[in-house]
Amino acid sequence: MTQSQNSDRTWAESLESAARYFTHTVGGAFRFAVTSDELVQRRFNAELQQVLRGKETPVQIHDWSKASPPDMYPAEQLRRLKAARPDTKGIICIGLERAMRESPEMLTLLNFAREALSDVGVPILFWISFRTLPLMSRFAIDLYNQRIGANLYFEHDAESADADGSAMRFIAHETVAANQDLRPLEARLKLLEKQFDELKKIQSPEKMANDIVLELLKVYVQIPGMSRMVQSLMDEYGMLIDLEKPGRCFDMATIYEYLGDVQKAEQHYHQALKQYRILVEQNPQAWLRDLALTLNNLANLQWNQNDYDSAEKGYREALDIRRDLAASNSQKCLPDVAATLNNLAKLQWSRNDYDSAEKGYREALDIRQKLAASNPQKYLPDVATTLNNLAVLQWSQNNYDLAENGYLEALGVYKALAASNPQIYLPEVAMTLNNLAALQQTRKGYDLAEKGYNEALCLYRELAESNSQTYLPDVALTLSNMGLLYQTGLPDREKSLACAQEALSILLPLKERLPKTRESFERAKQVVENWGLDPDEFIANLNISQPETPANGTSSAEHE
């Protein structure tokens, strides 16, 4: 295939081709992707990693320009990466042009190292620019001639890539097929997309928005990594959705929350709440459950914005309604009771009302363990969530043994769940590892803490590759914890300041918009000060790019 022919390949086809390269290639192999737009490269890598994670084919990204030490031979760099992540099934190599500026002989080194690179034992995808492409035939011809398959060419920019949404659809279907918990969505997703394509030709945009698009959005927000698709549909159809019905207001609130637009999410929750209260007066049996769900989710939103009084009031009203409903229909409504108990207990813990929080967690845990006994697949994740939250509380009360046992039990459950559904449960594994490591650090188990933090950080970095908006704050949280570990537990000034520097670079643009990130920011800042440096001067010298405000990335009936 010639370059001109290959450049016509759609974004979705390139994505599928690259995924097939990693999943079907055995042993060492080389392939090349060509673009001069780094944003295209980043976006393609993120989407490719998401698809491959669902196929249980984890790939790692290696930046040639960040080798440490800088003069390390290319094959040794990849060998060390593979040794650090033995589960790696492939490597994506970036930063070649930056590395060539520091080491002009880089292409020659790669060419001489081709056999050693192949011996790493996994397929490798090299990103190069159109400027570097002709240099391959001069300085790395042997390496280039050993490539498998045609090059992937990207001549469009990041904004125009996948203009028809076909790649995002491909990712959605691959993600659903790979995750057991999402498979019930598969048939509905296919049906709605088919209806969307057929009816778009004949129906008005207003009718499309209310008959098809909203239902499609409700499916997409349940699939990790679909924020770009959701935003695209909202840009085109969002203003056309009729909000006369409370259910539509609620759905729009969850969509805005998924996209990180807190103000609009709260506005639509309040609008739904007002309409549900009117309907409850007319027919309480039909509408009380919807009213309680809206109260619960609005309270989650308020709590995340540190509006604790409003959140607690909402949780308590939702809990009273759900207890009344469970009295006559326990099988259907007890899970709702446990969810609000858990949410209220988290809020009480954050307000230092430990006795009330522990009582709530234990009641929620008792309900969930009984539910999991008869339906483990559905309720074990909730058991793990409550175990983790209870462990946080026990730690704050200095009950270290109980807390550590709770974290370990929760971690075991999450790891088992992540084995079959990594995209859903790897974030929970990372969160629990971070919490457990922080506890071990407090107990002076510094080596265990370092191991846990590193494992959590690797997972968060991997997750942030495909969803930076959601997981970069978690990367920064773990880094701030590690900065403190390398200051007080395992003293290493260079490592400590490097962790603090990266954490501050991530958090500085976010701390005003995301109040929950401020604690991590202050922790990293304190690390800098403890090393005798001026934190304000240190921050002023950071090279910071402005990331987007993180979105939630998921949306469900209950947020825990």
pLDDT greater than 70 at residue 544:
no
pLDDT of residue 159: 59
pLDDT category at 13 given cuts 50, 70, 90 is confident
Please report the pLDDT score of residue 546 as a whole number: 46
Q: pLDDT (tens digit, 9 = 90+) per residue, 392-450? A: 999 999 999 999 999 999 999 999 998 888 878 999 999 999 999 999 999 999 999 99
CB atoms within 10 A of CB 42: 16
State the helix-helix crossing angle for 376-396 and 330-350, rounded to 10 degrees. Answer: 20
- Please give the pLDDT value at position 331: 83
Percent of the chain with pLDDT over 70: 93
Count of residues for the chain?
Answer: 560
Contact 113, 80 (CB under 8 A): no
Per-residue confidence at 6, pLDDT binned at 50, 70, 90?
very low
Higher pLDDT, 18 or 560: 18
CA atoms within 13 A on the CB side of 314: 24
Residues 286-294 have a mean pLDDT of 96
Nearest to 158 by CA among 40, 11, 7: 40
Give tens-digit pLDDT for 228-257: 899 999 999 999 999 999 999 999 999 999
Q: Which residue has the tokens 């309900």?
A: 367
Reduce the DSSP state of residue 513 to 3 states and report it: coil
Q: Supply the pLDDT for residue 54.
A: 78
How far is 113 from 168, CA to CA, in rounded Å?
A: 36
Residue whose entry in the numeric block shows the structure tokens 């998924």:
258
> pLDDT value at position 338?
97
Q: Which CATH superfamily, name and number, covers 11-153?
A: P-loop containing nucleotide triphosphate hydrolases (3.40.50.300)
Burial environment of residue 285 by CB neighbours within 10 A (0 to 12, 13 to 18, 19 or more)? exposed
In the predicted structure, residue 557 carries a pLDDT above the cut 60 = no
Mean pLDDT, the chain, integer? 89
Domain ranges in the chain?
A: 11-153
Task: Give the pLDDT score at 195.
Answer: 94
- Can you give the pTM of this predicted structure? 0.71
Tell me: pLDDT of 523 over 50: yes
* Residue ranges in 351-488 assigned as alpha helix (H): 354-374, 376-396, 400-420, 422-442, 446-466, 468-484
Among the listed residues 296, 215, 209, the one whose alpha carbon sits nearest the alpha carbon of residue 251? 215
pLDDT at 92 over 50: yes
Count CA atoms closer than 13 A to 557's CA, side-chain side: 10
pLDDT in tens, 116-168: 999 999 999 999 998 898 899 889 999 999 998 889 988 766 556 666 678 78
pLDDT for res 43: 87
Per the CB < 8 A criterion, the answer to whether 18 and 147 are in contact is: no
Residue 163: its pLDDT value, please? 65
Q: Are the CB atoms for 260 and 286 separated by under 8 Å?
A: no
